[in-house]
Each structure stands twice: as C-alpha cells, then as structure tokens.
Amino acid sequence: MQHIWREAPIMLHLIPMINYKRLSDLEREEISRLLSQQCSFHEIARALGRNVSTISREIGAGGCNQYNYRAVKARNRARRNAAKRKLGRYKIDDRPGLQMYIRRKLGLNGRLARLQKN
C-alpha cells in the first residue's frame, strides 16, 4: 500500500520561515524520507532550501549516518539539547528568594500591584 505523502515531494522551502535557524520537525521527516530514497546531501539541501553543511551536521549529530538516521530520534535529541541550553541560564530563575530581594530593592512589588489594577 503506497501513501500519497511518499509520492509527492514536500516543498518545504516554500513555507515562509522568518529568522528561523533550527530545523523543523517537517524538515527532519523530509530528510529521513529523502535519505531512504538514496538522495545525496546536495539533493536534500536543494529540496529543503538549506545549506549542505546543515544537512550533513543534522545527519551526523548523535552518531547517526545516512543509513540509520531517524527523524523521531533526531527530534528528541534536538528537544533534549534545547532544554540543556536553557537549563540554569539565569540565577534568578532558580532562586525565589533572590527574586523577592530584587523586587523589594527595586520597589517593583507596589508598582506591579498598581499596574495590574489598571
């Protein structure tokens, strides 16, 4: 049984992405599909409107190669790495006492209450 989505190429480069840097889940699925069709990195990059090095890095990340790349595993890896980047970024996020101290010193408690009433 053939599926329609395997027959028609997804034109992801036509989807407007404003200031988008990281690969989307759709792009990862398309990479996986094109790799299963034995497409080269250059062909995949052209189809997605991305640089060849972006495709190569994505496939090589996490110990994958063009024969065992899976979009779901790549998505999970990307989410996990994104969470690591954000973890513990600011001391104030982890310390509620520090938040209260800064608010009190800046006099924000009263101002915030007045702003919220308006």
Task: Return the pLDDT at 117.
Answer: 58
Those residues of the chain that have pLDDT short of 50 are: 1-6
Distance of CA 11 to the CA centre of its chain: 19
Domain ranges in the chain?
4-87, 90-118
What is residue 81's DSSP assignment? H
What pTM was estimated for this model as a whole? 0.59
pLDDT tens digit string along 7-26? 555 555 555 555 557 899 99
Cβ atoms of 58 and 31 within 8 Å: the answer is: yes
Distance of CA 60 to the CA centre of its chain: 16
Average pLDDT, the chain: 78
